[in-house]
Amino acid sequence: MAPDRLPHEKGFHVSWDQLHRDARALAWRLDGQGPDNGAWRAVVGITRGGMAPAMIVSRELDIRLVDTISVKSYNHQSQSAPVIIKMPDRDLVGDGTGVLIVDDLVDTGRTLEVVRATMPKAHVATVYAKPMGRPQVDTYITEVSQDTWIFFPWDMALQYVKPYRAGE
């Protein structure tokens, strides 16, 4: 959902360090929760934003089978209908049993709705969640309000900021 304000006005800015900590927290929460004696079989990251969290989760949980599902639903901050551009290996994921689907965030939940339909038995995990999309997620770490835009480290750069009391 596109917020109708400038990016710096209501934004949740996530650094690489913060993302790393939060994705690790997600992994630790998922540890031992898989259907096979607590183990997970594979990780499927939703490209592109889910790739960094998926890498961190699979590293923490020692899961070597990692695949991707490619979904496009946003062009900058405007949403369109989600389209699956690439499916994961069907022989690997099956109906999703033992599979962890990982994304950076859920906003409206439309992306996850489409992804879930392809692997109905998978467990869906995101690092961040907004209220509207929460029903689509099984496990997440941090919730932000629906009108907050989350800025990820790969979309930002360090830059000069004027002092609060700027001189004339």
Ligand X SMILES: O=P(O)(O)OC[C@H]1O[C@H](OP(=O)(O)OP(=O)(O)O)[C@H](O)[C@@H]1O
Angle at 5 between CA 1 and CA 10, to 5 degrees: 85
Instruction: State the minimum distance, in angstroms, from the CB of residue 77 to ligand HPA.
Output: 7
Residue 50 marked ligand-binding? no
Helix (H) or strand (E) holding 69: strand 66-75
Q: Of 22, 10, 16, 49, give the one whose Cα is nearest residue 149.
A: 10
Residue 150 marked ligand-binding? yes
Contact between 49 and Mg ion by CB under 5 A: the answer reads yes
- Decide if 103 is catalytic: yes
- Decide if 104 is catalytic: yes
- Decide if 89 is catalytic: no
Query: Is the sign of the CA dihedral 101, 107, 111, 117 positive or negative?
Result: positive
Contact between 138 and ligand HPA by CB under 6 A: the answer reads no
**Which residues sit at the interface with ligand X, rule CB under 6 A?**
46-49, 72-74, 103-111, 133
Q: Would you list which residues are annotated within the binding site?
A: 48-49, 103-111, 149-150
**Which residues sit at the interface with Mg ion, rule CB under 5 A?**
49
